[in-house]
Structure 1
Amino acid sequence: MGENIPYITTRTNKSGSLRYYWQRSGHKIVRLPSDPIDRANLAIRLNNAADQKVEINLAWAEDTLGWVIAKYKNSADYKALAKGTLKYYKRFLNDILELGGEMPFDEISRADVIDFVESYPKDSQRKHCSAVLRNLFNEAMYRGCASHNLASNLRLAEMGSRTQIWQQEDIDSWKKAAKKHEKADALILAFDMLLYTAQRPIDVLASKWSQYTDDNIILVRQQKTKTLVGLPAHRDLKKALEIARDKRTSETIVSNKNRQMSYSVFRKAFVQICAMAGIRDLQPRDLRRTAVVRLGQAGCTIPQIASVSGHTIDTTTQILEKYLPRRVELAMAAIQNLENAEDSKKLATLTPEPK
């Protein structure tokens, strides 16, 4: 039943079970029921709605990340949380959902969990985030879509702030290796957006073409801070965006099979490319810090850098204080700027005013 209905695809989970999905270009992937009659009926409804360009209000597909979060929010344990605790639980659950609500929960790896927790700069944030994830995995285990709690036994005390910076040779090596990957175009575009916008991977992957204006400004609403930043595209990024826009197949700038690339898919491919390039101890989120340092090395002021990255002035100052080396080249450039300003002032003094 349903073999001749278009847009039905299958996947095999880690336990070897076959799952059915409705996957059509330009639409959110939908998990289909195991029952063949129910599966066929839902697929037909979805195709008819897509043909008529109308939306069907469906809940998250069973066993997806969004589905587990919804189940957890409706649980007695969640409803029993204190008001103050509930506030930060909502925040972290919203952040977790940004990884991709349609992603099957069992596709989340231990590495994904560690990387996500480490993305928070403060010890208290990492502690709270890990607690939320542990409870979420408990819910998933209860629902039968996870076999282990991958958020347990995290070494939070050893998680310090990352200090890694991408050097130019690392960037060149990564891009060279990325050209051999099956998702080369999307991954290199995502890399350039991270490098030139100083934004978080989650925000870059969620960026839509509607946020890229005619005057080459990228509008980004940061998920964690809710800050709206407008970023002029660097000339190299502008060229890449123009090429990608001509070939676009989805609403999001970075796409995977005609839909938004989830963080899990992006990170997995990113790690594969790092291995191909022989790059160790560098991650996608390190590009945000790298972008800030590169702007500082280019002589940008702290307010200018903060307007790009969306950091506060204090945070931007701390990043530059910690990571921007005291190089002779920067000192020479500073003195040269001072001398040029003094020469311009002298010239203005010597030049007679027109009568």
Structure 2
Amino acid sequence: MVKAKIKGVNTVRKRLANGSVRVYHYHRATGAALPGRPGDPEFIAAFAEAERIAPKDVANINALIRDYLGSLGFSRKEDSTQREYRRMLLLLGEKFGKLPLRALDSPRVRGVFLDYQEQIGRTRPREADNRLSVLSAVFSHAARKGRIKDNPLRGFERIYSGDRSEKIWTASDITTFMADAPVELQRAMILALHTGQRYGDLIRLEWSQYSGMTILLRQRKTKVLVPIHTSRSLRQMLDGMPRQGENVLTRADGRPWFTDANDKALSKEWSAHMIACGLRPQNYATLTQQEKSHFLRFNDLRGTAVTLLAEAGCEVPQIASITGHTLQSATRILEKYLAMTPALSRAAIQAFESSPATAFANKLQTGPQRKEQSSEKTQ
């Protein structure tokens, strides 16, 4: 078959965790994914359909969205991030796509976007913030390219409060979760607690990255290469696990928890068990984003791991060497997560009671003891 070269197609190459390279094709004007290879019947059919619905706008926000979707910066984002951006940009295009570029010069246009944020944010504050963040990225790209003078959403205020400083898995929470959890979820819990890594990195961790003593992991978000010396407990689990495929964490039948199109399978199983074991209410799915934020999540295990390492006496550089944070980021996390934990409180009081520097304070009493102490001092 002769490989056809078609104008208006963006080609993106992604290096997978196993070192292989996968090629993806997208229709430049609409951002639609094109299956197969150029010249394949399904590719030609998808391209023709995308051409049919391609917007013809040239001086409005739809044009800026098309430019952004075809940019190098967008192509370098993770596949899951690209899918989420496309979803939101489709909605934003329907709402603001016909707005002419000259309208962006008006100081009042910022209020139009913020009104939209408030409207969505009444029931879905995080979604509202995310949509404006994506639109702001489009405007920033357009400003860099000289298509518009400035980003009208620069520095907009988010309405969703994502502070999870008190959302730490306690020993009781972990015990409750582990009691009747399927072994696949138990393995995910242990791996997360003993490595402090993100969900997306853990579900893609391969056996080839485990040497028997060390896990060598390149974080997908930061691209940082993190060597993690495994604990005895983690090695015991890993060395005793059946190797059902390339990935360490798998479903019961050995399939990985992710596909090219979706990496939410473990998250769904995790959420279902959280409800079953009582860590989330039965009506969790019907709650608003703000209401859901009060309950524990898988990703809170990352902050829990940082907290446990600190409670064990690890210094910031030691913690960062395991989790892959910068020293500044690790310090910020500790400032947030270590506000109040029982273990640190106990350790602080034990130090207070045993230190010579605080001996005078430990002798202080009220009532008769005070007089006795005074007389002892005069003698």
- Determine whether 1:81 maps to 2:67: yes
**Alpha-carbon distance between aligned partners in 2 of 1:200 and 1:131, rounded to the nearest angstrom:** 26
Matched to 1:296, the amino acid is A
- Determine whether 1:171 maps to 2:171: no
- CA 1:69–1:161 in 2, change beyond 3 Å: closer, same or farther? farther
Deviation at 1:196, TM superposition (A): 0.9
- CA 1:289–1:209 in 2, change beyond 3 Å: closer, same or farther? same
- CA 1:338–1:96 in 2, change beyond 3 Å: closer, same or farther? farther
- Per the alignment, in what secondary structure is the counterpart of residue 297 of structure 2? coil
- Hey, what does 2:290 align to over in structure 1? none
Figure out how many residues of one structure are paired with residues of the other and give that number. Answer: 232
Q: Deviations over 1:23-52 (max 9, x none)?
A: xxxxxxxxxxxxxxxxxxxxxxxxxxxxxx
- Hey, what does 1:275 align to over in structure 2? 275
Matches within 5 A, 1:304-323: 304-323=318-337
Q: Deviations over 1:288-334 (max 9, x none)?
A: 01100110111100000011111111111111112213744333566
Matched to 1:293, the amino acid is T
Deviation at 1:78, TM superposition (A): 8.7
- Hey, what does 1:162 align to over in structure 2? 164
- Hey, what does 2:216 align to over in structure 1? 219
**Alpha-carbon distance between aligned partners in 1 of 2:184 and 2:82, rounded to the nearest angstrom:** 22
Match of 2:346 among 316, 329, 340: 329
- Hey, what does 1:135 align to over in structure 2? none
Moved over 6 A (4+): 57-60, 69-79, 123-126, 335-339
Deviation at 1:93, TM superposition (A): 4.1
Match of 1:258 among 254, 258, 262: 254
Match of 1:230 among 218, 227, 230: 227
Structure 2 residue runs of 5 or longer lacking an equivalent are: 1-19, 26-31, 36-45, 56-62, 85-124, 138-156, 281-294, 357-379
Match of 1:298 among 306, 312, 329: 312
- Determine whether 1:204 maps to 2:199: no
- CA 1:208–1:260 in 2, change beyond 3 Å: closer, same or farther? same
- Per the alignment, in what secondary structure is the counterpart of residue 189 of structure 1? helix
**Alpha-carbon distance between aligned partners in 2 of 1:335 and 1:205, rounded to the nearest angstrom:** 43
* 8 Å CA contact 2:193, 2:304 repeated in 1: yes
Matches within 5 A, 1:7-18: none
Structure 1 residue runs of 5 or longer lacking an equivalent are: 1-54, 61-66, 100-116, 133-154, 179-183, 340-355
* 8 Å CA contact 2:215, 2:230 repeated in 1: yes
Among all aligned residue pairs of Structure 1 and Structure 2, give the percentage whose two residues are the same amino acid: 29
- Hey, what does 1:37 align to over in structure 2? none
Q: Which protein is bigger by CA-based radius of gyration?
A: 2
- CA 1:229–1:126 in 2, change beyond 3 Å: closer, same or farther? farther
**Alpha-carbon distance between aligned partners in 1 of 2:308 and 2:34, rounded to the nearest angstrom:** 38
Higher RCO, 1 or 2 (CA under 8 Å, sep at least 6)?
1
**Alpha-carbon distance between aligned partners in 2 of 1:316 and 1:125, rounded to the nearest angstrom:** 25
- CA 1:194–1:79 in 2, change beyond 3 Å: closer, same or farther? same
Matched to 2:74, the amino acid is Y
Matched to 1:255, the amino acid is T
**Alpha-carbon distance between aligned partners in 2 of 1:289 and 1:314, rounded to the nearest angstrom:** 15
- CA 1:333–1:225 in 2, change beyond 3 Å: closer, same or farther? farther
* 8 Å CA contact 2:214, 2:227 repeated in 1: yes
* 8 Å CA contact 2:129, 2:159 repeated in 1: no
* 8 Å CA contact 1:95, 1:224 repeated in 2: no
Q: TM-score, normalised by structure 2?
A: 0.51
- Per the alignment, in what secondary structure is the counterpart of residue 231 of structure 1? strand
**Alpha-carbon distance between aligned partners in 1 of 2:334 and 2:354, rounded to the nearest angstrom:** 20
**Alpha-carbon distance between aligned partners in 2 of 1:86 and 1:282, rounded to the nearest angstrom:** 37
- Per the alignment, in what secondary structure is the counterpart of residue 81 of structure 1? helix
Q: Deviations over 1:219-247 (max 9, x none)?
A: 11100100010111122211111111xx2
- Hey, what does 2:238 align to over in structure 1? 241
Matched to 1:241, the amino acid is L
Deviation at 1:276, TM superposition (A): 1.2
- Hey, what does 2:89 align to over in structure 1? none
* 8 Å CA contact 2:196, 2:323 repeated in 1: yes
